[in-house]
Chain A
Amino acid sequence: MSDNHLTQESASRRQFLKGSTAAMGGLMVGAWLPPFAPKSAAAAAVATQKGALGDRFAEGFGAFVRVGHDGRVAVISPKIEMGQGIHTGIAMMVAEELEVGLDQIDLQEAPPDADLYTDTLLQFQATGGSTSTRYTWEPLRRAGATARMLLVEAAASVWKVEAGQCQARDGQVLGPDGQALGYGKLVDLAATYPLPETVELKQPEAFRLIGTPAQRLDTPAKVNGEAKFTIDLDVPGMLITSARACPVYGGTVRQVSDRAARAIPGVKDVVVLENAVAVTATNTWACFEALKALDIEWDYGANRELNSARVGEKLHEASRRDGVVAAENGNIDQSLDTAATQFEAVYEQPFLSHSPLEPMTCVAHVQADGCDLWVGTQVPGLAQQTAASITGLSPEQIRIHNQWIGGAFGRRLDFDFITQAVQIASKVDYPVKLTWSREEDMTHDMYRPRYVDRMTAAIGDDGYPAGWRHRIAGGSIIARYLGGLPDNGVDFDAVEIAVDPVYHLDDLKVHYIREEPEVVPISWWRGVGVLRGIYAVECFIDELAHNAGIDPLTYRKTLLQHRPRVVAALERLAEQSNWGDPLPEGRGRGLAVGEVFGSVVATVVELSAVGDKGIRIDRLVTVVDCGLVTNPTSVKAQMEGGTLFGLSAALFNEIEIEQGQVQQENFHEYRQLRMGEAPSVEVDVMPSAEAPGGVGEAGTALIGPALVNAVHAAFGDRVRQLPLTRSGYYIV
């Protein structure tokens, strides 16, 4: 993404709106968010999907900035805070242009409204896909600058001087003769002015706040127990509820005997749903105990026989077939016929659970004339829709009170648990707080799909590929999430990276073969399609380099001459990781690079082979060029956390299914890196003038292939299947 967001051309695509409402008072400024110009085939496919989410999709008016009579600035955030630091980033963008301190800003969550808060990168109102900074970057600064200009104009007219003689600073306008007026005193007058014709944004050199490490606004409450997540809420008259859904997806309740459950002190009601049974009680423990005490006869349904081995076989089989062509350049079939050598490798990635530390939770209160939902959600609009369809209320009667999220990683882009909470709340006459046990959360997740990638390269005499054929077999998140595939039959998420690898190839053909294990509900998982694409491409290119006997970093650079930004990151990585320095026997380095979410990221893992299969990670270095940085602290934190999050998955994690039932139930079976196992992550943020890129998922996407490539370097063993524990590796 090299379009410069500060150009005049892009400015002219935007319009601004201002209003002053009697109810709220003060000066309110918003920005019309731009129509998204599709830049790639994948993005074009996204655009064709907009109808699936309703006609209310439109270029949206969003990002309100309101300056009150007290001089405080309210910013309505279209993005939910789930640990990524976006609220602080948004506050910084507005504060920078409006010339106020960060401490003058109050952040509010946006209510669901597709017209106002549609993410033009994601095409609906959502927080995910590493789009938050990219989407808010220009409109929010523009809204701040517009408000500032109006306030300056107001002060100038009070003092009867030219606006150009005044200056905004720290929440005040300063006049030429030492006059000063606080914003609060100017808002009424400013609100009567028409919007300025042109709004000039600061050039990066003039930034005072953006680019400096700012303390996160949400963290003080997170160190003293005050922070409230959905699970912590208490609304008047509320009872706790928890549920047990059929262990086989798609199964239903046949019959329930609840005598023992009802005898547990504190239990109020047993609510039978189609696929689950819920209990309400005065406390969570009583709910959990009562659920265990229920005697439920299930109809396991069609998926009762499904198991992991069978899913694997079908995916491998599918990867041998041609599918829908997702990308084609040159003529790979001919190249493969005439190539000096052919090389084929098959990569496999498992089902994964999100397992955020806060399990699924939702507070719901359904009444005859309205429904309140207190829930941390990445998709408030979809939450509203599901509640409306269950209750028969109109969407306007569903009030969503969005909450901080105790980790999401894509899990709260789904709303199955919200649906369940509303179903339960519809059957009782009091508000309920749904809290899933960890076991329920892990066995009823919406899993990251399992994929098999079969890649076949045509290699020339020089050891470099003329191109490759890439077949991707797996389920389709897009089809489930949007209710169907685009007309071309391609799941544009599943083929990300594969259709546009960074490397120069004369011939490329990508097939998407949809092979759906119907039983397994699948969804977005941190890194989404990019994660799976980078894994296959970066492992494959590494294999090709080794086959050619060429240093893998040099090999990549040779194929990247047309991508100077990527080469620059690789060179920086070589420097930071001491790539060229020799290592003792039994020690190795692996690398991966990619252009992901608008950022360029390159990662090196250095590890030692301990005994037969023991891995000791000695160093983990990652270089990121994410364009202009709003808050360097948040960028580093996201890169560190995202990298280790991906490391846990690549090392240990896999969801297995036997007889239609998920086998991993809690953290002892789905283990996470712990303190003594977590290497420190050296993050190098490159200075860059490019447009801001995403960082929330970038680290996660790169660590898997870098790790596997390092295992090859240290052990001489080429692992193609994740997680590494499957091949007997363990961490020391």
Chain B
Amino acid sequence: MQTVKVNNQTHVVDVPGDMPLLWVLRDILKLTGTKFGCGIAQCGACTVHMDGQPIRSCVLPVGDVSGREITTIEAIGEQPLAQKVQRAWLDHEVAQCGYCQSGQIMSAVALLANNNRIDDHAIDQAMAGNICRCATYTRIRSAIQDVSESVGVWQP
């Protein structure tokens, strides 16, 4: 039995402790907004927050997350900053197929929430783990810049 706290709800799940958090979220808790892309921490599609930090849930054993707060794309919109990010994503028409975008948004929100100075280099670093096969990078960057400016942390 494993205990996980996801989006402010505690769940006890009957799975082995080495099952990656990703599959607990998707297959057991039916939170399918978090995606599977590679399974080896290469693509970022599975990015969620653990205590506010972005992590790749495909390589994080569920046994290691007890006592931690997990937030997924389904609940991130409860945070005002994340709402701004989601809005910017729409304004900039970022998504194409959209499959990577949950992960992209989770990485972007963490970048914005955890830094009081953001420049292009910071965007490059924070988003380096997220692949977009539709290659929407240009628009992701503009959307993040926009939010950075609006919350006063853009320092090019």
The 8 Å CB contact of A648, one of B39, B74, B123, B135, is: B135
The 8 Å CB contact of A283, one of B27, B73, B90, B129, is: B27
Task: Report the minimal beta-carbon distance from A489 to chain B, rounded to whole angstroms.
Answer: 35
A674 at the B interface (CB under 8 A): yes
CB neighbours (8 Å) of A177 from chain B are: none
B113 at the A interface (CB under 8 A): no
B54 at the A interface (CB under 8 A): no
The 8 Å CB contact of B97, one of A220, A224, A234, A357, is: A357
CB neighbours (8 Å) of B5 from chain A are: none
A298 at the B interface (CB under 8 A): no
On whether A225 and B102 interact (CB within 8 A), knowing A285-B27, A438-B37, A666-B40, the answer reads: yes
Which residue of chain A lies nearest to B123 when distances are taken between CB atoms in the complex?
A675
The 8 Å CB contact of B27, one of A220, A225, A226, A282, is: A282
A84 at the B interface (CB under 8 A): yes
A89 at the B interface (CB under 8 A): no
**Residue contact B45 to A357, C-beta cutoff 8 Å:** yes
Task: Report the minimal beta-carbon distance from B2 to chain A, rounded to whole angstroms.
Answer: 13
The 8 Å CB contact of A359, one of B36, B97, B130, is: B36
| Bound CA–CA A186/B116 (angstroms) | 58
CB neighbours (8 Å) of A678 from chain B are: 135, 137-138
CB neighbours (8 Å) of B100 from chain A are: 357
Per-residue interface assignment for chain B, residues 3 to 37, with 1 indicating a CB less than 8 Å from any chain A CB and 0 otherwise = 00000000000011001100100111011111111
CB neighbours (8 Å) of B32 from chain A are: 225, 228, 231-232, 234
Task: Report the minimal beta-carbon distance from A682 to chain B, rounded to whole angstroms.
Answer: 10
A:630-688 near B, CB below 8 Å: 633-634, 637-638, 640-645, 647-648, 666-668, 672-676, 678, 680-681
Which residue of chain B lies nearest to A221 when distances are taken between CB atoms in the complex?
B98
Per-residue interface assignment for chain A, residues 279 to 313, with 1 indicating a CB less than 8 Å from any chain B CB and 0 otherwise = 00011110010000000000000000000000000
On whether A681 and B97 interact (CB within 8 A), knowing A357-B43, A666-B38, the answer reads: no
Which residue of chain B lies nearest to A213 when distances are taken between CB atoms in the complex?
B93
A500 at the B interface (CB under 8 A): no
CB neighbours (8 Å) of A676 from chain B are: 121, 124-125, 127-128
**Residue contact A666 to B128, C-beta cutoff 8 Å:** no
**Residue contact B98 to A644, C-beta cutoff 8 Å:** no
CB neighbours (8 Å) of B95 from chain A are: 83, 216, 218-219, 222-223
**Residue contact B97 to A405, C-beta cutoff 8 Å:** yes
CB neighbours (8 Å) of B43 from chain A are: 357, 667
CB neighbours (8 Å) of A645 from chain B are: 133-135
The 8 Å CB contact of B98, one of A404, A408, A680, is: A404
CB neighbours (8 Å) of B133 from chain A are: 355-357, 407, 409, 645, 672
Which residue of chain B lies nearest to A648 when distances are taken between CB atoms in the complex?
B135
**Residue contact B36 to A435, C-beta cutoff 8 Å:** yes
CB neighbours (8 Å) of B129 from chain A are: 674
Which residue of chain B lies nearest to A682 when distances are taken between CB atoms in the complex?
B138
**Residue contact B16 to A265, C-beta cutoff 8 Å:** yes
**Residue contact A438 to B39, C-beta cutoff 8 Å:** yes
The 8 Å CB contact of B20, one of A82, A285, A407, is: A285
**Residue contact A357 to B138, C-beta cutoff 8 Å:** no
**Residue contact B98 to A667, C-beta cutoff 8 Å:** no
CB neighbours (8 Å) of B136 from chain A are: 637, 640-641
A:532-584 near B, CB below 8 Å: none
A229 at the B interface (CB under 8 A): yes
**Residue contact A223 to B86, C-beta cutoff 8 Å:** yes
A723 at the B interface (CB under 8 A): no
**Residue contact A644 to B137, C-beta cutoff 8 Å:** yes
B66 at the A interface (CB under 8 A): no
| Bound CA–CA A602/B114 (angstroms) | 42
Which residue of chain B lies nearest to A406 when distances are taken between CB atoms in the complex?
B99
| Bound CA–CA A218/B90 (angstroms) | 10
| Bound CA–CA A164/B69 (angstroms) | 65
| Bound CA–CA A213/B94 (angstroms) | 14
Task: Report the minimal beta-carbon distance from A354 to chain B, rounded to whole angstroms.
Answer: 9
CB neighbours (8 Å) of B98 from chain A are: 83, 218-219, 221-222, 227, 404, 406
| Bound CA–CA A432/B104 (angstroms) | 29
On whether A675 and B130 interact (CB within 8 A), knowing A224-B86, A358-B99, A667-B38, the answer reads: yes
CB neighbours (8 Å) of B96 from chain A are: 83-85, 407, 637-638, 641
Number of contact residues on B: which range applies? Answer: 35 or more
Per-residue interface assignment for chain B, residues 53 to 96, with 1 indicating a CB less than 8 Å from any chain A CB and 0 otherwise = 00000000000000000001110010000000010011001111
CB neighbours (8 Å) of B39 from chain A are: 288, 437-438, 666
B110 at the A interface (CB under 8 A): no
A212 at the B interface (CB under 8 A): no
Task: Report the minimal beta-carbon distance from A724 to chain B, rounded to whole angstroms.
Answer: 17
CB neighbours (8 Å) of B148 from chain A are: none
Which residue of chain B lies nearest to A232 when distances are taken between CB atoms in the complex?
B32
Task: Report the minimal beta-carbon distance from B139 to chain A, rounded to whole angstroms.
Answer: 7
Which residue of chain A lies nearest to B138 when distances are taken between CB atoms in the complex?
A680
| Bound CA–CA A231/B25 (angstroms) | 13
A:152-210 near B, CB below 8 Å: none
Which residue of chain A lies nearest to B73 when distances are taken between CB atoms in the complex?
A225
**Residue contact A673 to B33, C-beta cutoff 8 Å:** no
A:384-405 near B, CB below 8 Å: 404-405
**Residue contact A666 to B42, C-beta cutoff 8 Å:** yes
Task: Report the minimal beta-carbon distance from B36 to chain A, rounded to whole angstroms.
Answer: 7
**Residue contact B19 to A674, C-beta cutoff 8 Å:** no
**Residue contact B15 to A283, C-beta cutoff 8 Å:** yes
CB neighbours (8 Å) of B140 from chain A are: 675
CB neighbours (8 Å) of B131 from chain A are: 357, 667, 672, 674
| Bound CA–CA A222/B73 (angstroms) | 10
**Residue contact A358 to B138, C-beta cutoff 8 Å:** no
**Residue contact A285 to B138, C-beta cutoff 8 Å:** no
| Bound CA–CA A266/B27 (angstroms) | 12
B105 at the A interface (CB under 8 A): yes
A615 at the B interface (CB under 8 A): no
CB neighbours (8 Å) of A227 from chain B are: 33, 98
A48 at the B interface (CB under 8 A): no
| Bound CA–CA A227/B98 (angstroms) | 8
| Bound CA–CA A285/B135 (angstroms) | 28
CB neighbours (8 Å) of A641 from chain B are: 96, 134-136
Task: Report the minimal beta-carbon distance from B129 to chain A, rounded to whole angstroms.
Answer: 8
**Residue contact B90 to A675, C-beta cutoff 8 Å:** no
On whether A216 and B93 interact (CB within 8 A), knowing A227-B98, A673-B137, the answer reads: yes
**Residue contact A224 to B134, C-beta cutoff 8 Å:** no
A:241-288 near B, CB below 8 Å: 265-266, 282-285, 288
On whether A231 and B36 interact (CB within 8 A), knowing A283-B28, A645-B135, A678-B138, the answer reads: yes
CB neighbours (8 Å) of A647 from chain B are: 135
Task: Report the minimal beta-carbon distance from A562 to chain B, rounded to whole angstroms.
Answer: 35
A240 at the B interface (CB under 8 A): yes
**Residue contact B97 to A640, C-beta cutoff 8 Å:** no
CB neighbours (8 Å) of A666 from chain B are: 38-40, 42
**Residue contact A225 to B135, C-beta cutoff 8 Å:** no
**Residue contact A637 to B139, C-beta cutoff 8 Å:** yes
A338 at the B interface (CB under 8 A): no
Task: Report the minimal beta-carbon distance from A605 to chain B, rounded to whole angstroms.
Answer: 15
**Residue contact B27 to A407, C-beta cutoff 8 Å:** no
| Bound CA–CA A406/B40 (angstroms) | 19
Binding site for B on A (CB under 8 A): 82-85, 215-216, 218-229, 231-232, 234, 240, 265-266, 282-285, 288, 355-359, 404-409, 435, 437-438, 633-634, 637-638, 640-645, 647-648, 666-668, 672-676, 678, 680-681
Instruction: Return the 3 tightest CB-CB contacts between A and B, nearest first.
Output: A225-B33, A83-B97, A222-B98
Of the A-B pairs whose beta carbons lie under 8 Å apart in the complex, a sample of 17, sorted by A's number, is A83-B134, A216-B95, A219-B94, A225-B73, A225-B74, A283-B27, A283-B28, A284-B26, A285-B19, A357-B43, A407-B97, A437-B39, A641-B96, A667-B42, A673-B135, A675-B123, A680-B138
Kindly list 4 other residue pairs between chains A and B, CB separation below 8 angstroms, not including A229-B35, A667-B37: A216-B93, A265-B15, A437-B39, A672-B133
